[in-house]
Amino acid sequence: MRNTKVLVEGAVVSGIYTLLFLISMYIPLFSLVSLFILPLPFIIYLYRQDLKAGLLFWAVTFGVSLAFAGLNGMIVTLFAGLTGIVMGELYRRKKSAFAVLLGASLSNIVNMLGTLAIAQVFMGINFVKELESQFQSAIGTAEDFYKAGGQDPAQIERLKEQVELIPMLLPTYIIGGAVILAFLTHIAARMLMKRMRYDVPSFPPFREWNLPKSFLWYYIIAIVLTFSMPEKGTSLYIVTINLYMILSFVLIIQGFTVIFYYAWIKNWKRKRIILLVILLFLLSSILPIPLEVVKFLGIIDLGFMIKKRLKPKQ
Confidence of residue 251 (pLDDT cuts 50, 70, 90): very high
> What are the structural domain ranges in the chain?
1-124+168-203, 204-313
Q: What is the mean pLDDT of residues 238-260?
A: 90
Computed over every residue of the chain, the mean pLDDT equals: 82
User: What separation in angstroms does the CA of 151 have from each of 110, 142, 145, 147, 154?
Assistant: 44, 11, 9, 6, 8
Q: Which of 159-163, 216-220, 238-242 has the lowest mean pLDDT?
A: 159-163
Q: What is the mean pLDDT of residues 143-158?
A: 63
- Does 163 or 301 have the greater pLDDT score? 301
CB 105 within 8 A of CB 90: no
Q: How far apart are CA 280 and CA 295, in angstroms?
A: 12
1-124+168-203 classified as CATH 3.30.1490:
no
- Does 90 or 284 have the greater pLDDT score? 90
Query: How high is the pLDDT of residue 181?
Result: 92
> What pTM did the predictor assign?
0.85
CB 163 within 8 A of CB 138: yes
Confidence of residue 119 (pLDDT cuts 50, 70, 90): confident
**How confident is the model over 277-297, as pLDDT tens digits?**
888 888 877 777 888 888 999
CB neighbours of residue 62 within 10 Å: 14
